């Protein structure tokens, strides 16, 4: 399944996050691809707000993972940008997080492609020169995580 959504301005992020959560209510793991500045962290903050996170949310660039509380359980936000090998994921207990049933939002998921559940929703974000973000979403099995970023992810059968 491949779907495309346009995020025309940051103020739309919350409504788009709510729509994605509603359309994919059974999913708990979301992988975000895109170049630096594409809006991955901003969109994940909107997902957290939609889920009722009251904590301050920020990119876990140096901590690798941030955990936020909601009335329905924890939400985990990963930024794997600084990691260099899949072995480093073992050190933080990555598979336990993504297999926990809690919401997990993963930025720079390429390194974790073999560890993500098959039902992961992959969101590929592209920023245009006008500031519009194109979100291309593909639902499991985990598509197109290995390899370079491509303008249009392949569809899955």
Could you read off the pLDDT of 50-69 as tens digits, one per residue?
Answer: 999 987 787 776 679 999 99
Cα dihedral 75, 92, 142, 117 sign: negative
* Distance, CA of 122 to CA of 131 (rounded, Å): 21
Is residue 33 within 8 A of residue 122, CB to CB? The reply is yes
* Distance, CA of 8 to CA of 137 (rounded, Å): 16
Name the band, by pLDDT with cuts 50, 70 and 90, for residue 153: very low
Mean pLDDT in the chain?
87
- pLDDT (0 to 100) of residue 106: 96
Q: Does residue 35 carry a pLDDT above 90?
A: yes
- pLDDT (0 to 100) of residue 140: 65
Cα dihedral 58, 81, 138, 91 sign: negative
- pLDDT (0 to 100) of residue 1: 55
Arithmetic mean of pLDDT, 71-76: 94
Arithmetic mean of pLDDT, 104-123: 93
- pLDDT (0 to 100) of residue 129: 93
Name the band, by pLDDT with cuts 50, 70 and 90, for residue 141: low
Burial 9-24, CB ≥16 within 10 A → b, else e = eeeebeebbeebbeeb
- pLDDT (0 to 100) of residue 55: 79
Considering only 37-46, 58-67, 96-105, which range has the smallest mean pLDDT? 58-67
- This prediction has a pTM of 0.86
């Amino acid at each position: 399944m491949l779907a495309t959504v346009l995020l025309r301005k940051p103020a739309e992020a919350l409504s788009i996050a709510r729509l994605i959560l509603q359309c994919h209510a059974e999913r708990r793991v979301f992988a975000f691809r895109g170049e630096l500045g594409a809006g991955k962290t901003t969109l994940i903050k909107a997902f957290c707000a939609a889920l009722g996170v009251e904590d301050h949310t920020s990119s876990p660039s140096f901590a690798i993972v941030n955990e936020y509380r909601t009335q329905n359980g924890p939400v985990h936000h990963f930024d794997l940008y600084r990691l260099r090998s899949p072995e480093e994921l073992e050190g933080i207990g990555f598979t336990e997080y993504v297999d926990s049933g809690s919401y997990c939002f993963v930025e720079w998921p390429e390194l974790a492609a073999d560890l993500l559940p098959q039902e992961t929703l992959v969101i590929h974000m592209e920023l245009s020169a006008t500031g519009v973000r194109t979100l291309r979403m593909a639902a499991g099995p985990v598509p197109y995580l290995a390899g370079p970023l491509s303008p249009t992810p392949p569809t899955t059968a």
